[in-house]
A and B are shown apart, each in its own frame.
Chain A
Amino acid sequence: MSQVPDPAILIAQIKDKLGIGADKVYGVIGEFSEPEELVEAGRTIRGMGYTKIDAMSPFPVHGIDEAIGVPYSKIGWIAVCGAIAGITTAQVLIYYVGVIDYPLIIGGKPLFDFTYSIPPTFELAILFTAITTFLCTWGLSGLPRLYHPSMNYRDAHRASDDRFLLVIESDDPKFDAQKTAEDMRRVGANDVEVVEG
Chain B
Amino acid sequence: MSAVVQDPQLMELNPPLVQGTGDLHDLTDQISSVVEAQVFETPLKYWITLACTSSIVLLLGAMITYLVNTGIGVWGNNRPIGWAWDITNFVFWIGIGHAGTLISAILFLFRQKWRTSINRSAEAMTLFAVMCAGIFPLFHTGRPWRAFYWLFPIPNTDLNLWQNFRSPLIWDVFAVSTYFTVSLLFWFTGLVPDLATLRDRATTKVRQVVFGILSLGWRGSARHWRHYEQAYLILAGISTPLVLSVHSVVSFDFATSVIPGWHTTIFPPYFVAGAIFSGFACVMTLLLIARWLLNLQNLITIKHLDNMNKIILVTGSIVGYAYCTEFFIAWYSGSIYERFTFLNRAFGPYWWAAWSMYTCNVFIPQLYWFRKMRTNLWVMFIISITTNIGMWFERFVIIATSLTRDFLPSSWGYYSPTWVDICTFIGTIGLFLTLFLLFARFLPMIAMSEVKGVASQEKHAFAGQEGKVLHR
- Among B28, B196, B206, B456, the most chain A Cβ lie within 10 Å of the Cβ of B456
In the complex, chain A residues whose CB is within 8 Å of the CB of B227: 73, 75, 136-137, 140-141
In the complex, chain B residues whose CB is within 8 Å of the CB of A57: 220, 222, 225
1/0 per position for A33-65, CB-CB distance to B under 8 A? 001100000000000000000111111111111
Binds A, one of B140-148, B159-167, B399-407, B418-426: B159-167
A4 near B205 with CB under 8 A, answer yes
Which residues of B214-271 are within 8 A (CB) of A?
Answer: 216-231, 234-235, 238, 241-242, 245, 249, 252
A143 near B234 with CB under 8 A, answer no
A123 near B245 with CB under 8 A, answer yes
Report B357 CB to chain A, min CB distance, Å.
Answer: 28
Which residues of B186-231 are within 8 A (CB) of A?
Answer: 186, 188-189, 193, 196-197, 199-201, 205-206, 208-209, 212-213, 216-231
The dominant DSSP class at the B interface is helix
A127 near B212 with CB under 8 A, answer no
Report B181 CB to chain A, min CB distance, Å.
Answer: 6
A60 near B200 with CB under 8 A, answer no
Total number of residue pairs linking A and B with CB closer than 8 Å: 195
A70 near B174 with CB under 8 A, answer no
Q: What is the bound-complex CA distance between A138 and B223, given in angstroms?
A: 11
Q: Does B175 contact A (CB under 8 A)?
A: yes
In the complex, chain B residues whose CB is within 8 Å of the CB of A102: 161-162
Contact of B234 among A64, A79, A147, A156 (CB under 8 A): A79
Q: What is the bound-complex CA distance between A106 and B251, given in angstroms?
A: 22
B222 near A70 with CB under 8 A, answer yes
In the complex, chain A residues whose CB is within 8 Å of the CB of B450: 59
1/0 per position for A109-147, CB-CB distance to B under 8 A? 100000011011011101101110110111011111111
A94 near B222 with CB under 8 A, answer no
Q: Does B470 contact A (CB under 8 A)?
A: yes
In the complex, chain A residues whose CB is within 8 Å of the CB of B189: 134, 137
A56 near B234 with CB under 8 A, answer no
B219 near A56 with CB under 8 A, answer yes
A148 near B219 with CB under 8 A, answer yes
In the complex, chain B residues whose CB is within 8 Å of the CB of A131: 181, 185
- Among A55, A72, A123, A138, the most chain B Cβ lie within 10 Å of the Cβ of A123
A162 near B24 with CB under 8 A, answer yes
Report B447 CB to chain A, min CB distance, Å.
Answer: 10
Least CB separation from A138: chain B residue: B216
Known: A126-B241, A130-B182, A143-B217. A59 touches B472 (CB 8 A): no
Q: Does B178 contact A (CB under 8 A)?
A: yes
Q: What is the bound-complex CA distance between A134 and B220, given in angstroms?
A: 17
In the complex, chain B residues whose CB is within 8 Å of the CB of A19: none
Q: What is the bound-complex CA distance between A4 and B210, given in angstroms?
A: 11
A133 near B235 with CB under 8 A, answer yes
In the complex, chain A residues whose CB is within 8 Å of the CB of B61: none
Q: Does B171 contact A (CB under 8 A)?
A: yes
Q: Does B453 contact A (CB under 8 A)?
A: yes
Contact of A160 among B163, B168, B196, B226 (CB under 8 A): B196
In the complex, chain B residues whose CB is within 8 Å of the CB of A87: none
A120 near B174 with CB under 8 A, answer yes
1/0 per position for B449-460, CB-CB distance to A under 8 A? 110110010000
Q: What is the bound-complex CA distance between A35 and B450, given in angstroms?
A: 14
A144 near B185 with CB under 8 A, answer no
B24 near A55 with CB under 8 A, answer no
Least CB separation from A98: chain B residue: B165
Least CB separation from B222: chain A residue: A55
A58 near B225 with CB under 8 A, answer no
B238 near A130 with CB under 8 A, answer yes
- Among B164, B182, B228, B234, the most chain A Cβ lie within 10 Å of the Cβ of B234
Report B165 CB to chain A, min CB distance, Å.
Answer: 5
Least CB separation from B451: chain A residue: A59
Known: A138-B216, A161-B25. A75 touches B166 (CB 8 A): no
Least CB separation from B194: chain A residue: A160
Report A170 CB to chain B, min CB distance, Å.
Answer: 16
A76 near B230 with CB under 8 A, answer yes
Known: A120-B170, A140-B227. A59 touches B165 (CB 8 A): no
Q: Does A104 contact B (CB under 8 A)?
A: yes
Q: What is the bound-complex CA distance between A104 and B219, given in angstroms?
A: 54
Q: What is the bound-complex CA distance between A116 and B457, given in angstroms?
A: 48
Q: Does B153 contact A (CB under 8 A)?
A: yes
Q: What is the bound-complex CA distance between A177 and B212, given in angstroms?
A: 30
In the complex, chain A residues whose CB is within 8 Å of the CB of B200: 156-161
Report A25 CB to chain B, min CB distance, Å.
Answer: 18
Report A121 CB to chain B, min CB distance, Å.
Answer: 9
Which residues of A88-104 are within 8 A (CB) of B?
Answer: 93-94, 97-98, 101-102, 104
Q: What is the bound-complex CA distance between A163 and B260, given in angstroms?
A: 63
Q: What is the bound-complex CA distance between A64 and B222, given in angstroms?
A: 7
Q: What is the bound-complex CA distance between A126 and B23, given in angstroms?
A: 39
Q: Does A151 contact B (CB under 8 A)?
A: yes
B453 near A60 with CB under 8 A, answer yes
Q: What is the bound-complex CA distance between A99 and B216, given in angstroms?
A: 44
Contact of B212 among A60, A72, A133, A146 (CB under 8 A): A146
Least CB separation from A2: chain B residue: B205
Q: What is the bound-complex CA distance between A109 and B223, given in angstroms?
A: 52
Report A142 CB to chain B, min CB distance, Å.
Answer: 8
Q: Does A7 contact B (CB under 8 A)?
A: yes
A116 near B166 with CB under 8 A, answer yes
Q: Closest 4 A-B residue pairs measured CB to CB?
A: A162-B24, A157-B200, A144-B216, A119-B171
Task: List 9 interface pairs A-B (beta carbons < 8 Å), by A numbering.
Answer: A60-B228, A72-B226, A97-B163, A104-B164, A127-B181, A146-B212, A148-B217, A160-B199, A160-B218
Known: A35-B456, A68-B222, A133-B231. 18 other contacts (CB 8 A): A59-B449, A59-B450, A61-B225, A79-B238, A98-B165, A122-B241, A126-B182, A126-B241, A127-B182, A129-B238, A141-B223, A145-B217, A146-B212, A156-B200, A159-B219, A160-B196, A160-B218, A161-B25
